[in-house]
A and B are shown apart, each in its own frame.
Chain A
């Protein structure tokens, strides 16, 4: 049985198509769900991936309005029941605003946030690598990832700097909430390009069932999306080669691997 994954669309979401395709390429039954369908429409799904964009135009704060949306309430309930939830970029900001990640406080009372980048919130758009910051077993939602996996992605955000109170940051670091850190291609940790605390690119919750990551794995999921032109040059003129999976697809195949274990139970 194939796991069904919902990709919620809020007003202003803009990455749903490529997210759905990346999930489908990983063998999942993925479907975009428009906000007008309401929270009930999400009941039939096994997992959720909140895509990137600018939900509600980032009014008030990035992710703040969507965090109180009816769809998000349904996702919070599903996460509470143990279903896997991923958030990418704006989806990650929504999960933090909702209090699902890191989940160290009550729901709706965030204890951390992806805040405006240093240099006054200047938009960051560049290719990055992230490295799994914890043991794979710590994150059941991505349980298929190899130890210290390095994944290429594209960062595209104005609000990607993790911030929290100093004692909260210490707790996130010590207790393994930092799911991904920025790294170079070899996996060596590097300073976060936007000043994110703990060089954090992604956070998880205590159970490892919810993951919020700022860079976009779905934007490096096929060869034609790679930063490195060599593979693209080799594939030029060969459509199948251009559409071959790229490094970012690892994120989604790991998710699919984890979901296969859940659906089979």
Chain B
């Protein structure tokens, strides 16, 4: 059976303490940044027959998504959007389940953490600023990779 890749971002609608801590730390180490956005990005290898309803399934089973505090956004592709970097372990493998729960039609899933940095005016920072943040704080190259 043919499989497709579908990617969803799960971000917080309530204040994101981890993003706030990242913002404070980046400022402390001299990275010029006005705001930080963070999301868990889930990329699914899914049977074509189950692909159309995957978003609804994820929203319904509530293992990685809680409607009281998250928003679920389907991404147009399986790569980071402009100004974003994904952090993942070097040895990442596609897992057969999500939070221990098998989703019908899903063959494998990868979780990455997406970071997007904004300047004081709310614009996406220059690539060099994002790169500096990745090298000094967001990614530990000993076991992680930055997907751009």
Q: Could you list which residues of chain A lie within 8 angstroms of chain B, going by C-beta atoms?
A: 56-57, 59-61, 64-65, 68, 96-97, 108-113, 115-116, 120, 163-165, 168
Count chain B CB atoms within 10 A of each CB in A109, A116, A120 and give the residue with the most: A109
Q: Could you list which residues of chain B lie within 8 angstroms of chain A, going by C-beta atoms?
A: 17-18, 21-22, 25, 28-29, 89-91, 95, 135-138, 140-144
In the complex, which residues of chain B have a beta carbon less than 8 angstroms from the beta carbon of A97? 140
**In the complex the two chains form, is B142's CB within 8 Å of A168's CB?**
yes
In the complex, which residues of chain A have a beta carbon less than 8 angstroms from the beta carbon of B90? 163
Q: Which of chain B's residues has its CB closest to A108's CB?
A: B136
**In the complex the two chains form, is B140's CB within 8 Å of A110's CB?**
yes
- With A97-B140, A164-B143 known as contacts, the answer to whether A65 contacts B21 (CB < 8 A) is yes
Count chain B CB atoms within 10 A of each CB in A60, A96, A108, A165 and give the residue with the most: A60
Nearest-Cβ distance from residue B62 to partner chain A, whole angstroms? 19
In the complex, which residues of chain A have a beta carbon less than 8 angstroms from the beta carbon of B143? 113, 115, 163-164
Give Cα distance in the complex from A108 to B30, angstroms: 13
**In the complex the two chains form, is A113's CB within 8 Å of B140's CB?**
yes
Q: Which of A65, A115, A164 contacts B25 (CB 8 A)?
A: A65
Count chain B CB atoms within 10 A of each CB in A65, A111, A116 and give the residue with the most: A65
In the complex, which residues of chain A have a beta carbon less than 8 angstroms from the beta carbon of B95? 120
Q: Which of chain B's residues has its CB closest to A66's CB?
A: B25
**In the complex the two chains form, is A68's CB within 8 Å of B29's CB?**
yes
Q: Is the interface of A mostly helix, strand, loop or mixed?
A: loop
Nearest-Cβ distance from residue B7 to partner chain A, whole angstroms? 21
In the complex, which residues of chain A have a beta carbon less than 8 angstroms from the beta carbon of B141? 109-110
Give Cα distance in the complex from A112 to B143, angstroms: 7
**In the complex the two chains form, is A60's CB within 8 Å of B21's CB?**
yes
Give Cα distance in the complex from A102 to B137, angstroms: 18
Nearest-Cβ distance from residue B43 to partner chain A, whole angstroms? 17
For the complex of A and B, 8 pairs with smallest distance between CB atoms: A163-B143, A113-B142, A59-B18, A59-B21, A115-B143, A164-B142, A112-B142, A113-B143
Give Cα distance in the complex from A108 to B133, angstroms: 12
- With A56-B21, A59-B18, A59-B22 known as contacts, the answer to whether A64 contacts B29 (CB < 8 A) is no
- With A68-B28, A68-B29, A108-B136 known as contacts, the answer to whether A60 contacts B142 (CB < 8 A) is no
Give Cα distance in the complex from A165 to B143, angstroms: 8
Count chain A CB atoms within 10 A of each CB in B18, B142, B143 and give the residue with the most: B142
- With A68-B137, A115-B89 known as contacts, the answer to whether A165 contacts B18 (CB < 8 A) is no
